[in-house]
Structure 1
Amino acid sequence: MGTAEQLDTLVGSRVALRHRIGERDGRPLFTDVVGELSDGGVREGVATVVVATRRGPVAVARSAVAAVRAVPPARPKRPSWQAVARLESLCADAWPALVDRPLGDWRLRAAHGFTGRANAALAIGHPDAPLPAALAAVQAFAAEHAIPPRVQVPIGSPWSSAVAAEGWVVDEEHDPGPRIGVLVADLDRLATAPDRPGLRVEIGPRPGAEWWALALGGPPTPAQRRVVAPESGLRTGFGSARGPDGETVGVLRAAVVADHLYLALVAVRPEVRRTGVATALTAAAARWGRERGARWAVLQVELRNTGALACYEALGATEHHRYHFLVPR
């Protein structure tokens, strides 16, 4: 197969492409580029291809291509621990505990037992104390607020390794699960998800009785109300999806923190699941978040919730990192 035919065959694939860039002392000079190949069409009378490299697109005249071959997809780049720490902090701000006490860079949190992430020490950065003393402070804080001692920490991070080295282990009994994926998505893509015919979706400033009933199964406790709908400067929106009969069939909570839209408490009535209700709620929340300056969505999904993971993956969400809960042995 000639080079021209190879180029046409490999359009849409990740390739390594060698092409001529000039001459030196009468000898041709070549360079290589790696990325996704596309047809560049005709530019200034020259037929071209384009290779989308990590540094940007590179247009190459077809006549300059010396060789091309398919290469495996690039490994996803792991975010830095600094980026992980920032995203974890944004999520903690978007889901505020009733008590949030700093311990150096750590955050000791309590909310009368409502959700693990609001009742665990967020261990990112340095606690400004020797680790045994910091973990003793976590236990003392937990006893003060009548909650189990628990640390939330990104999986694979140096902070997780340090806490585990002190004898703390994964809380396998944690409900809904000990390991959670943190997903991110581009809001522009989420906002264009298709609407579901016959469904009316609204994002309101406060949750009503029907919203609470579907999200939590009944009226909220004082702690639940203060975490989910805090009386603070946090920008929150509460999505409700109503069917043709006006009945609420789906709900969602959204919060904007910095440039991220935090999505949580997505609940859909069992009889209408997998019919586009969650997608429509997410799209409406994405548009609401964009209007308030957000660029990215972030969600925390328990890894055993394969249905939710598949739904958000279909909408373009990708895993940023994972965290787990560690408890004393």
Structure 2
Amino acid sequence: MESTQRFDDRLAALVGQRVSLRRRIFADGGPGPRFTDAVGDLTEAGDGTFVVHARSGPVTVDPDDVVAVRAVPPAPPRRPSWAAVGRLEQLCADAWPPVARRDLGGWRLRAADGFTHRANSALAAADPGMPVTDALAAVRAFAAEHAIPPVVATPEGSPWSNRVREAGWALEAGWAQGSEVAALVADLGALAGAAGPSDGALDVAFDAVPDVAWWDLFGEGPDDPGAAARERVLVPGPDGPESGFGLARRDGDVLGAVRATVVDDHLYLSRLHTDPSARRTGVAARLTADAAAWGRARGARFAVLQVALDNEPARALYARLGCTEHHRYHYLVPGPDATA
């Protein structure tokens, strides 16, 4: 039998990994020890014991009782429930309010003079309270009323996506910014500390409204077509969710910007942009981390953001910062054989 000290060392070496562990248990009045197994992530309790975070709950382990332990592959990710997906989509929609909105049961019909697909599509992430064919007819009528194409945004693989596709609606092709989108999430505390060592020369500040420099970084001005709708979406005003508009400057030069919006217990991150001259210098990571700290100070606990699947640089950045994919959604439009 291996010594207790050897299991102390082995357990310490496996902290942070998923393990399969066998240990002795002694029943009162029993003839001798029995054995039981636990599988889960291993942490150190700080009092000489360890904890296996099994699916059934945490299991405290004394090294004296361990007879075998080994590392095992990470558990396959568990798909969130459709209710959880729907809630997150509703929070994201709250953070990106359209100019015009009409609720249809659990669907949201949205229009914003063409500024972004998010604000000019029907969000189908819950039951519309009527046959889907009737709901799609309402989507078409609303779109015509607001002079926008009929589009449905819906989580991939969801019951609502399936029903819409059965009615002949199909994935939108040819949209420059991608018709498939990943919803990413992260713990806000971890995200706030993910930027690494601070660049003392880089100054990041958040304001309640975007100034001219913030708009200029995006090449946007008040006289652009659709500027009024754009401002209505991005700057909701006193009745909308609290937003902060971050700017990163070095020696007075504007190098990056981000928008952060608190919705319930989540911080919605959007419009992260870095000047081409400052890319790959840590500006985007610093803006993200400071936005996370800004959101934590206002009661948010989690981050959520939406990134087109074909935006590989952004997805790589967020992966490095610890963001993980929660679900995907896509934009569907009427196909040539649509029945609704």
TM-score, with length taken from structure 1: 0.92
* Alignment equivalent of 2:328, drawn from 299, 315, 322: 322
Change in 2 beyond 3 A, CA 1:216/1:136:
farther
1:79 equivalent in structure 2 = 80
2:183 equivalent in structure 1 = 182
Aligned residue identity for 1:282? T
1:269 equivalent in structure 2 = 275
For each residue in 1:180-230, what CA deviation from the matched residue of structure 2 results, as whole angstroms up to 9, or x when unmatched?
111111111122233223111000011111111213544451111111112
1:144 equivalent in structure 2 = 145
Specify the SS of the correspondent of 1:304: coil
Change in 2 beyond 3 A, CA 1:180/1:51:
same
CA shift, 1:25, in A, is: 4.0
Distance 2:152 2:238 in 1: 26
Unaligned runs of 5+ in 1: none
**In the alignment, is the contact (CA less than 8 A) between 1:215 and 1:265 conserved in 2?**
no
For each residue in 1:47-84, what CA deviation from the matched residue of structure 2 results, as whole angstroms up to 9, or x when unmatched?
x4432334554232223223323322101111111111
**In the alignment, is the contact (CA less than 8 A) between 2:14 and 2:71 conserved in 1?**
no
Distance 2:147 2:14 in 1: 60
The total of aligned residue pairs comes to: 324
Aligned residue identity for 1:179? E
Alignment of 1:107-126 (within 5 A): 107-126=108-127
Change in 2 beyond 3 A, CA 1:228/1:138:
same
**In the alignment, is the contact (CA less than 8 A) between 2:7 and 2:63 conserved in 1?**
no
State whether structure 2 residue 35 is matched by structure 1 residue 30: yes
1:240 equivalent in structure 2 = 247
CA shift, 1:14, in A, is: 1.7
State whether structure 2 residue 21 is matched by structure 1 residue 17: yes
Once superposed, what is the RMSD of the aligned Cα atoms? Answer: 2.0
TM-score, with length taken from structure 2: 0.89
Specify the SS of the correspondent of 1:200: strand
* Alignment equivalent of 1:204, drawn from 183, 199, 207: 207
Specify the SS of the correspondent of 1:118: coil
1:295 equivalent in structure 2 = 301
**In the alignment, is the contact (CA less than 8 A) between 1:215 and 1:266 conserved in 2?**
no
Specify the SS of the correspondent of 1:129: coil
For each residue in 1:75-127, what CA deviation from the matched residue of structure 2 results, as whole angstroms up to 9, or x when unmatched?
11111111111110011010000011001110000001100010000002111
For each residue in 1:139-172, what CA deviation from the matched residue of structure 2 results, as whole angstroms up to 9, or x when unmatched?
1111111111100000111111111111110112
Alignment of 1:81-100 (within 5 A): 81-100=82-101
| Identical-residue share of aligned pairs (%) | 53
Aligned residue identity for 1:33? A
For each residue in 1:255-307, what CA deviation from the matched residue of structure 2 results, as whole angstroms up to 9, or x when unmatched?
11111111101111011111111111112211211121111111101111111
CA shift, 1:327, in A, is: 0.5
Specify the SS of the correspondent of 1:285: helix
Change in 2 beyond 3 A, CA 1:215/1:3:
farther
